[in-house]
Amino acid sequence: MCTTCGCGHGEVRIEGVPSDGHDDVHRHSDGTVHAHAHGHGGGAHWHRVDDGARHGTVHDQGHTPFRTLTGGLGAVHAHGVPLARIVAIERDILAKNNAFAATNRQLFADRGTFVLNLVSSPGSGKTTLLVRTVAALDGRVPVAVIEGDQQTTRDADRIRATGVPAVQINTGKGCHLDAQMVGDAIAALPTDSGGLLFIENVGNLVCPAAFDLGEAHKVVILSVTEGEDKPLKYPDMFHAADLLLVNKVDLAPYVDFDVDAAIGYARRVRPGLPAMCVSATTGEGLDAWIEWLLHGAATAKAARDQSVEALRRRVGELESELARRAPGAPGA
């Protein structure tokens, strides 16, 4: 179950096993959620309050769809909210997912693992690219994969056939992976330190953009058969990415796709976005991708080694201090 998304409630499976270790955030007193509309009486009313708008009228529980009020929230309070206490919350709606993501991120840092969240529309070639990538890495670093799809374990099976450990998350009706699902999936993977973890998100160019999984980077994959204007049509995803892979470039001569235009559009919504052209089938362009991955893995491992080294130094210092203050004491 997605922590912020009610869809797929109770239907998430990890390696075929229902994932039930979650808080049930959707329990109501009558046990159900009704999705049909109700009339105005007793329901929520929407009042749009825009910053800096012209001075408007007092809001009431009336039938006009919205009123504009000026001055932000202070004006709203002054204009007719019945006697009630105002309690500040200031809580980000995605806070719960972000908390799980932070936990994941800390675990990855502790292990020195470089984690990538691969996002794209379905059929861009993510899994084929992963299979090809794993072969090219040739055991130089430990690799593991978390696969996300609504149903089937086909992708995890393909990865496992290469000899790499993989866990399949099935979201049921869900349209993206969230940090809680990923946290649960990690438990099923080997705990080798260092190396690479690829999270292949559900094929979807919209929803995964909003959900931090704890990764180091989102890598967006766009194939030449998809149309060069996709970055403009799905800006959130390209904005959220730190690397663009243009895949299936071996097919470029046969389709009407301007690679430079596509990269240019992507850089409109995400200035400076690094981009690489690859073909998962012919292997074209893979060297640069592999080098980028190995560099990231080395950096993550170095950071971990440094922090372990710093801890060891600190332990050494504390032991010396103990020896100075309490010679002959246990542990001194």
Residues that bind other proteins (CB under 8 A): 2-7, 25-26, 28-30, 33-38, 42-51, 59, 61, 72-73, 76, 81-96, 206-207, 209-210, 231-232, 235-236, 239, 267-269, 271
In order of 67, 137, 175, 201, the CA distances from 155 in angstroms are 50, 19, 16, 11
Phi and psi at residue 309, to the nearest 5° = -60, -40
Query: Least distance (Å) from other proteins to the CB of residue 98?
Result: 11
Cβ neighbours of residue 229 closer than 8 Å, sequence gap 6 or more: 261, 262, 265
DSSP label of 163: T
- Classified as helix, coil or strand, 115 is strand
Task: Output 90 or 256, the one with its CB closest to other proteins.
Answer: 90
Q: 53 vs 188, which CB is nearer to other proteins?
A: 53
Residue 119 pairs with which residues in a beta bridge?
220
Helix axes 286-325, 95-111, angle to 10 degrees: 80
Q: Of 28 and 63, which CB lies nearer to other proteins in the complex structure? A: 28
Q: Using the minimum distance from each CB to other proteins, give the nearer residue, 29 or 190.
A: 29
CA 144 to chain centre: 17
24 CB-near residues (< 8 Å, 6+ apart): none
Q: What span, in angstroms and rounded, lies between the C-alpha atoms of 92 and 4?
A: 11
Say if residues 119 and 203 touch (Cβ distance below 8 Å): no
Structure tokens at 148: 């996300």
What's the closest the beta carbon of residue 86 comes to other proteins, in angstroms?
5
Instruction: Between 231 and 296, name the residue whose CB sits nearer to other proteins.
Output: 231
Smallest distance from other proteins to CB 194, Å = 33
| Selection from 159, 150, 72, 129 nearest residue 249 by Cα | 129
User: CA-to-CA distance for 16 and 111, rounded, in angstroms?
Assistant: 27
What span, in angstroms and rounded, lies between the C-alpha atoms of 198 and 87?
A: 42
The type of residue at 181 is: M
Nearest CB to other proteins, comparing residues 49 and 107: 49
Q: Which is nearer to other proteins, 38 or 325 (CB)?
A: 38
Q: How far is the CB of 267 from other proteins (least distance, A)?
A: 7
The nearest distance, CB 219 to other proteins, in angstroms, is 19
**CB-nearer residue toward other proteins: 34 or 324:** 34
Q: How far is the CB of 165 from other proteins (least distance, A)?
A: 31
The least distance separating other proteins from the CB of residue 76, rounded to whole angstroms, comes to 6
In the complex, the smallest distance separating the C-beta of residue 23 from other proteins, rounded to whole angstroms, is 9
d(CA 214, CA 97) in angstroms, rounded, equals: 10
